Amino acid sequence: MTNIDDYAILGSIKIFTGNLTKFMESQGPLNSAENSGILDTIMESEQAHALADFNPDHLVTELFHELRERDREILNMRYGLSGKSEHTLDAVGKKLGLTRERVRQIEKEALASLKKQQLSNRNKGVMDIVKKAVEDHGGIMAEYALVDHLLVSEKAGSQINSLVFLLEIFEELTHLPESEHYHQAWHVNSFKFHKLDKFHDEIKVILEKKGSPVTFENLHKDFKSTNVFNENIDFYTDKTVENFLKIIKKVKSNPFGEYGLSHWRVISPKDVGDKSYLVLKHYGKPEHYSKITERINKHKFDSRTAYKETVHNELIMDPRFVLVGRGIYALKEWGYKKGVVSDVIKEVLEEAKDPMDRSQIVEEVMKRRMVKRNTILVGLANKKHFAKVGKNKYDLVKKV
């Protein structure tokens, strides 16, 4: 479709939405909740349609049209626009033969000029939808979360700088610099920061008491029992709570959607051993080290690639893991213990008060080691350690 066709569709949706709203109002309060849900769906559809065509590069080009060439060049270099990398004031000055202070002045004046400009009706409407997206998430969004929300993945890389630049000059939103507690974010001008601060404090207390990762559902459930939530039930919607968690620096989710304090190693794994632990913990069963490696790379804990040789070496040395089969590892906390098959047979017989049937021994050992039945029978045939004391019954030599 052409841009004109797209704009016409947006206009039709707005007219339809307006008519639908009037119809809903005429239905009376008994249907208000249902009507509200329908209206929300229509509005989300409108926003999705507009954002699907959202192109920050095009908006920046439109804005820059009235600027002088030198002003465009300076802004492009300062903000990494039009394919350029970001430059410091000194670097821009050296390239253009200007002092650092003069570059700063030109940048400031150019930004002021852009803020006075009016976007076309179409693009102004898109930026209004950007503001609406922030409002729908509680009035503030971490910059990285806002970028993820507004840009589809295939175009995000090339347009992030343009989007951030537009946010800088869009006076309906204000930038929150990164701090000790929060990631850098953008908020509507009327945002009440005490709501974020109180949420931050409550969530930290909840997680400190838990002491281990929790799902969003469980964390949200605990938050709903607090006075902070009950004093602002309408404000702390599911969407707002999930969004606020993305803003708080000391809270983070691991690749499996579990939330905890950022410094916990089960949330922010430090090395291959931590990643292997999380993989086994999540899938809940012993795995071959090559499969563990595959899953580490699949879940992308960070930008580093794991190699199976490295993983294998780490699993051998780390006391959290037990070799339970040929290249197969389990977590020690699951009850597995280190040792060869004969050691496991000894352990089983030591725990038993009476001699055990051979089939019982095999069954119990296979719960603790991923080995073949014949391997267990070969171990059981070692007369130095095990004695046959009846028909298919065995015990430790020292107990006979």
For residue range 91-100, list pLDDT tens digits in order: 999 999 999 9
Strand ranges of the sheet holding 287-288, from the earlier edge strand across to the other edge: 287-288, 328-331, 321-325
Ranges 10-19, 245-254, 322-331, most confident: 245-254
State residue 24's pLDDT score: 47
Domain boundary among 234, 261, 288: 261
Backbone angles phi, psi at 78, to 5 degrees: -70, -35
Under DSSP, the state recorded for 268 is S
Residues 330 and 345 in one domain: no
Query: What type of residue sits at position 73?
Result: E
Domain boundary among 334, 364, 381: 334
Q: What is the CATH number of the domain that holds 245?
A: 1.10.10
State residue 321's pLDDT score: 96
Which residue intervals of 27-68 are DSSP H helices? 32-52, 56-64
Q: Which of 400, 380, 378 is nearest to 389 (CA)?
A: 400
Query: What type of residue sits at position 15?
Result: I
Under DSSP, the state recorded for 175 is E
**How do 328-331 and 287-288 pair as beta strands?**
antiparallel
Decide if 283 is inside a domain.
Answer: yes
Q: Domain of residue 352: give its range.
A: 341-399
Q: How far is it, in rounded angstroms, from Cα 54 to Cα 60?
A: 12
Six-digit token pair at 265?
Answer: 């190693």
- Cβ 355 vs Cβ 345: under 8 Å: no
Decide if 197 is inside a domain.
Answer: yes
71 to 102, 103, 363: CA distances (angstroms): 12, 9, 78
Decide if 391 is inside a domain.
Answer: yes
Decide if 137 is inside a domain.
Answer: no
Q: How far is it, in rounded angstroms, from Cα 86 to Cα 88?
A: 7
Q: How many residues appear in the chain?
A: 400
- Cβ 251 vs Cβ 262: under 8 Å: yes
Six-digit token pair at 128?
Answer: 């209004």
Decide if 296 is inside a domain.
Answer: yes
Decide if 9 is inside a domain.
Answer: no
Task: Give the pLDDT confidence of 179-215 residue by residue, as tens digits.
Answer: 999 999 999 999 999 999 999 999 999 999 999 999 9
Q: Which of 183, 299, 185, 301 is nearest to 250 (CA)?
A: 183
Task: Give the pLDDT confidence of 354-376 residue by residue, as tens digits.
Answer: 899 999 999 988 888 777 888 88
- Cβ 186 vs Cβ 130: under 8 Å: no
Q: How far is it, in rounded angstroms, from Cα 244 to Cα 230?
A: 17
State residue 4's pLDDT score: 36
Task: Give the number of domains in the chain.
Answer: 3
